[in-house]
């Protein structure tokens, strides 16, 4: 328990530091967001998957017969050449194209991803007549942002506590505020701990856990630079009761299975006992049958007194074996 409280304390300190940095970054980002100027560089904020137009300004020269227009970051991304009032030699990477109008040139970059964030430089150079001459250079900082996908749920823990999770996924930049609420009021941050991680696509994910005595009337408040206003996501009460119902069903099913196991064990033992009794041979005993018919013969003495001799039964006599 002490280790758990120390862990929560450390995570609370980390959470406060992250929140402070987040507020500073959000304040700074609000200054440079949109189509503004920052140290001579125009700034454009674009949502992930959208497109951006980067304009190219230059000073035309009367003696210019041919010039090139290039868009580059660390390397060349897209270029085109104008000769005798016609555009030729377009060379652009995927999701990029050059747009030429009467008095304006621009590059369109579509399907922007987080790793497309950076400074784009448009360079216009005269090539004919030589020598080459720089006609214009314009810098545009493109900030790609991604709004968080937020979900709130009840999670199972082995220590028996009610734990609820607020999960913000896939947001960029990393500055994000995520706070627990109950009945419309903000909760004590000392009861929460956060886990922040970076995803393969360079976006961020933030897990916020809260240990509670019950999981009703809780909400997660999230604010990010990609949102027009903070999000408030409520924990469905059914989610909490559903998990309780699942636990009750698990207990009930376990009891039923235990009773069935006992009954099966009892039946098997009884059948084994009966089988052993039937396999023992019966004990055979010799019994002398009792005669059912007695036949007596009267014997008379021939010596003159004529007294009959006592009658003795005659019949079947079995001798002991």
For the chain, the domains span 2-25+147-233, 49-145, 236-274
Sign of the four-CA dihedral 250, 251, 256, 261: positive
Instruction: Give this prediction's pTM.
Output: 0.61
User: In the predicted model, what is the mean pLDDT of the chain?
Assistant: 77
Q: And the tokens for 135?
A: 């006609």
* Residue 13 confidence (pLDDT): 40
* Residue 33 confidence (pLDDT): 43
Residues in the chain predicted with pLDDT less than 50, given as ranges, are 1-34, 294, 315-318, 321
* Residue 257 confidence (pLDDT): 87
* Residue 204 confidence (pLDDT): 95
Regarding beta strands 105-109 and 96-100, do their DSSP bridges make them parallel or antiparallel, or are they unpaired? antiparallel
Q: And the tokens for 184?
A: 């419309």
Establish whether domains 2-25+147-233 and 49-145 are of one fold. yes
* Residue 220 confidence (pLDDT): 94
* Residue 80 confidence (pLDDT): 92
Give the CATH number of domain 49-145: 2.60.40.10
CB atoms within 10 A of CB 56: 23
Give the CATH number of domain 2-25+147-233: 2.60.40.10
Whole-angstrom CA distances from 154 to 20, 108, 138, 193, 244 are: 28, 45, 51, 15, 10
* Residue 303 confidence (pLDDT): 55
* Residue 60 confidence (pLDDT): 75
């Amino acid at each position: 328990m002490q280790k758990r409280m120390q862990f929560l304390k450390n995570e609370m300190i980390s959470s406060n530091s992250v929140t402070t940095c987040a507020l500073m970054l959000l304040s700074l980002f609000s200054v440079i967001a949109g189509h503004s100027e920052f140290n001579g560089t125009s700034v454009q904020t674009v949502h992930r998957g959208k497109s951006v137009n980067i304009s190219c300004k230059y000073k035309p020269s009367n003696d210019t017969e041919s010039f090139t227009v290039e868009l580059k970051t660390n390397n060349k991304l897209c270029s085109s050449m104008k000769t005798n009032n016609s555009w030729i030699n377009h060379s652009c990477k995927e999701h990029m194209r050059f747009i030429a109008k009467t008095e304006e040139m621009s590059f369109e970059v579509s399907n922007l991803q987080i790793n497309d964030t950076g400074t784009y430089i448009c360079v216009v150079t005269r090539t004919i007549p030589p020598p080459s001459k720089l006609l214009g250079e314009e810098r545009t900082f493109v900030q790609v942002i991604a709004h968080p996908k937020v979900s709130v749920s009840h999670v199972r823990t082995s220590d028996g506590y009610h734990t609820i999770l607020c999960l913000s996924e896939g947001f960029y930049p990393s500055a994000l505020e995520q706070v627990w609420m109950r009945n419309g009021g903000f909760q004590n941050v000392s009861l929460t701990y956060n886990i922040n991680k970076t995803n393969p696509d360079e976006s961020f994910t933030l897990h916020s856990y809260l240990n509670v005595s019950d999981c009703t009337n809780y909400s997660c408040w999230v604010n990010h630079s990609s949102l027009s206003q903070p999000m408030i996501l409520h924990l469905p009460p059914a989610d909490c009761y559903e998990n309780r119902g699942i636990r009750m069903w698990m207990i009930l099913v376990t009891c039923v299975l235990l009773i069935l196991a006992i009954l099966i064990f009892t039946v098997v033992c009884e059948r084994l006992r009966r089988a052993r009794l039937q396999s023992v041979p019966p004990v055979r005993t010799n019994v002398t049958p009792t005669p059912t018919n007695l036949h007596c013969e009267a014997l008379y003495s021939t010596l003159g007194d004529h007294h009959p001799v006592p009658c003795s039964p005659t019949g079947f006599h079995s001798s002991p074996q």
